[in-house]
Amino acid sequence: MAGAGEVAWVLGIVAWYIIRYPFERRAKRVRVVSDRRSTAEAIGLGAALLGMSVVPAIYIATGIPQAADYPAHLWAIIVGCALFFSAMWFFRRTHKELGKNWSISLQIREKHELISGGPYTLVRHPMYTSFLLMALGQAFLLSNWVVGLAGLIGFAVLFFLRVDKEERMMLEIFGPRYQAYMDRTKRLIPYLY
């Protein structure tokens, strides 16, 4: 059974990239009118990349760090698959809904629209919710303490370095409309946070 979680994680990451790639290409064609990229942003993106792809990829390729392994259980792999699958479904919905307004970083594009439909009715950062589900999925699929924690830490660093700035940027651009949207939505988890 060892190996099933690794295979599932690799398939999940491939799905992630297949979903994202067309948006990256399309986004390049839309002009950026305001760019808030910063060192903190770079650190956040780097941490997420490290914890959610480099560390697990090294683990799958080499088994390092072996000392942090624990036995894989079928139930954990099933839970991990369910988390990863729902993350990918959500991830795809948020990209379709954001469309041309999507950016990998904090940027405002030409004719930027405020999106509040689809998954954006549930929470105001549904793409980050999908990252959280993915990091949790990673922790269940790969039975290693370091690798499981790395994903959650990577997500947390990106999220907490970014979310206040992103909301401030949206408030600056959309003013009371974003304030009203903030008043009726939570950040990541409906009704909770």
- What token pair was written down for 186? 């939570």
Ramachandran angles phi, psi of 115, nearest 5°: -100, 130
> Shortest approach of ligand SAH to residue 72 CB, angstroms?
31
Chain positions 163 to 182 lying near ligand SAH, rule: CB under 6 A, are 166, 170
User: Smaller CB distance to ligand SAH: residue 6 or 41?
Assistant: 41
What residues numbered 90-109 form the site for ligand SAH, per CB under 6 A?
Answer: 94, 98, 101-103, 106-108
For residue 47, the one-letter residue type is A
Closest C-alpha among 188, 8, 2, 170 to residue 88: 8
- Contact yes or no for 34/169 (Cβ under 8 A): yes
If you ran DSSP here, which 8-state letter would residue 115 be given?
A: -
Q: Is 73 helix (H, G, I), strand (E, B) or coil?
A: coil
Choose one: 14-22, 25-33, 66-74, 126-134; the region binding ligand SAH (CB under 6 A): 126-134
CB nearer ligand SAH, residue 16 or residue 59: 16
Residues paired with 69 in a beta bridge: 144
Output 71 or 117, the one with its CB closest to ligand SAH: 117
Distance CA 142, CA 119 (A): 28
CB of 48 to ligand SAH, least distance (A): 12
How many helices (DSSP H) and strands (DSSP E) are in the chain? 7, 2
* Residues 10-49: x where in contact with ligand SAH by CB under 6 A, - otherwise, as a string: ----------------------------------------
- The residues binding ligand SAH (CB under 6 A) are 94, 98, 101-103, 106-108, 114-116, 120, 125-128, 166, 170
